Chain A
Amino acid sequence: MTDEQLSEMMQRSPGLLSCSIDRNLEPTLNFYIDALGKDHALAFVTRIPASLSYSLEKRLKPRLKQALDVGMVVDSKLVSLIMFYTNEKWDRKVEIKMGKR
Chain B
Amino acid sequence: MFRLVDIMLMYALFFATMGYAFHPYYHHRRRQHHSYRISSNILDQQGYYRRQLVQLYINIPTDPSIIEHNRQYLSDKLGFSEEKLDKIAASLTFNYNILTLDIGILDDRVNWLKNRLGLTENQVKKIIRLQPDILSRSSKSDKGLESKIDWIQERLVLDQKSLAKMTTKSPNILTMSIRDNIEPTLDWIQERVMLDQKGLSKMMTKHPAMLHLSIEDNIEPTLDWLQERLVLDDTALSKMIQRMPSILCYSITDNIDPKLDWLQDRLKLDDTALSKLIPRAHTVLSCSTDVLEDKLKWLQQRLFDR
Chain B residues whose C-beta falls within 8 Å of the C-beta of A6 in the assembled complex: 267, 296, 299-300
Q: Chain B: residues with CB nearer than 8 A to chain A? A: 267-269, 273, 276-278, 280-281, 283-284, 287, 292, 294-296, 298-300, 302-306
The 22 listed contacts between A and B (C-beta, < 8 Å) are A1-B299, A1-B300, A3-B267, A6-B267, A6-B300, A7-B269, A10-B267, A10-B277, A10-B296, A11-B273, A14-B277, A14-B284, A15-B281, A17-B281, A17-B283, A17-B287, A18-B287, A19-B295, A21-B295, A25-B298, A29-B303, A46-B303
Cα(A25)–Cα(B299), bound, Å: 9
- Does chain B have a CB within 8 A of A9? yes
Cα(A42)–Cα(B294), bound, Å: 19
Chain B residues whose C-beta falls within 8 Å of the C-beta of A46 in the assembled complex: 303-304
Report the count of interface residues on A (CB-CB < 8 A). Answer: 24
- Does chain B have a CB within 8 A of A4? yes
Cα(A66)–Cα(B273), bound, Å: 40
Chain A residues whose C-beta falls within 8 Å of the C-beta of B302 in the assembled complex: 25-26, 29
- Does chain B have a CB within 8 A of A86? no
Chain A window 12-37, contacts with chain B (Cβ cutoff 8 Å), 1 for yes, 0 for no: 00111111010001100100000000
Chain B residues whose C-beta falls within 8 Å of the C-beta of A9 in the assembled complex: 299
Q: Chain A: residues with CB nearer than 8 A to chain B? A: 1, 3-7, 9-11, 14-19, 21, 25-26, 29, 38-39, 42, 45-46
B280 & A14 in contact (Cβ 8 Å cutoff): yes
A interface, by DSSP: helix, strand, loop or mixed?
A: helix
Using CB atoms, name the residue of chain B closest to A14.
B281
Using CB atoms, name the residue of chain A closest to B269.
A7
Cα(A9)–Cα(B283), bound, Å: 17
Chain B residues whose C-beta falls within 8 Å of the C-beta of A14 in the assembled complex: 277-278, 280-281, 284
Chain B residues whose C-beta falls within 8 Å of the C-beta of A17 in the assembled complex: 281, 283-284, 287, 292, 295-296
Chain B proximity of A25: nearest CB distance (Å): 6
Chain B residues whose C-beta falls within 8 Å of the C-beta of A18 in the assembled complex: 281, 283-284, 287
Knowing A14-B280, A18-B283 are in contact, say whether A45-B295 is a contact too (CB < 8 A): no
B287 & A45 in contact (Cβ 8 Å cutoff): no
